[in-house]
Amino acid sequence: MSLGKIIDNKHNALSKRIDKQKVPEHVAIIMDGNGRWATNKRLPRKYGHKRGVDVLKEILKASKKLGCKVLTVYAFSTENWTRPTEEVDFLINLFSEVLRNEIEEIHEESTKIKFIGDLNPFPETLKKIISSSESLTKNNNKFLLNVCVNYGGRQEIVKVAKELALKSSSGEIKPSEVNEELFNSELLTRGIKDPELLIRTSGEKRISNFLLWQLAYSEIYISDVLWPDFNEFEFLKAIIDYQSRNR
Ligand code: IPE
Ligand code: IPE
Ligand code: MG
């Protein structure tokens, strides 16, 4: 049997084990390990980030095929600004380039794209393409892709607290009215169901300031595979593991 055939068989066997009735609606992913992947291959880190984009495309397809409805990915954290300028600039250019190349297909597939985070520090070119992509796809309803950029969970929570404090001091709300529901309604993810599953690649067992409020009850799956080596097969493994949990 050819290697390709063996891989196909393994893949099919895994697909069959998935309970279509228990597919998570919302999956969040910390796409980690791009730098290590490149370094292991004696390549500059940027090659890991480039390859990481192809993997995101594969996982987006796989999650739609499976019947998920929302994918939220961590692309750039508030802490990532401390990386060398060259890497930060490369990532910012990569976001623009990928968005420019992919937005048509995203739209054709009736996928809505949203960027979550503080976009202010980004260059105008990126801000423009983000805003045109969001408005082009805003009425699409088959699938939602949230891309977290310059996102930090603590910053998001502080922003909500500030917002509620302002509303309280202006008399719009009473302090006694502050509850989880009200808090939720001010989050950047308002209106979106919390993720049932969080996947982090490359073995690190941290949340790294990702969706601190929203992940309160999510199942966590850590994969040792570096993000550029992650694929549909590894994604299905995460789903099967999730389905074995008692929720
Ligand atoms: C994740 O991969 C991508 C971003 C944070 C943008 P890393 O760049 O963190 O890769 P490692 O963790 O250094 O291997
Ligand atoms: C988390 O990965 C952020 C993203 C994937 C964008 P990092 O590599 O930045 O996180 P740490 O440094 O391991 O906590
Ligand atoms: Mg990392």
Cβ–ligand 1 distance for 98 under 6 Å, the answer: no
- pLDDT, tens digit, 9 for 90 and up, residues 54-99: 999 999 999 999 999 999 999 999 999 999 999 999 999 999 999 9
Is the pTM here over 0.85, yes or no?
yes
Ligand nearest to the CA of 90: 1
Q: Is 34 in the pocket of ligand 1 (CB under 6 A)?
A: yes
pLDDT at 10 over 90: no
Share of the chain above pLDDT 90, in %: 93
89 catalytic residue (yes or no): no
Asked if 57 and 14 count as a contact pair (C-beta separation under 8 A), the reply is no
Q: Ligand 2: distance of its center to the CA of 25 in Å? A: 24
Is pLDDT of 1 > 90? no
Tokens of 79: 């802490």
Helices of type H across 41-179: 45-66, 85-108, 124-137, 153-169
Active-site residue (options: 40, 80, 141, 179): 80
152 C-alpha to center of ligand 3: Å? 15
How far is 215 from 235, CA to CA, in rounded Å? 19
Measured between alpha carbons, how far is 155 from 209 in angstroms, rounded to an integer?
A: 9
99-110: pLDDT as tens digits: 999 999 999 999
| The pLDDT of residue 110 | 98
Per-residue model confidence as pLDDT tens digits over 176-223: 999 999 999 999 999 999 999 999 999 999 999 999 999 999 999 999
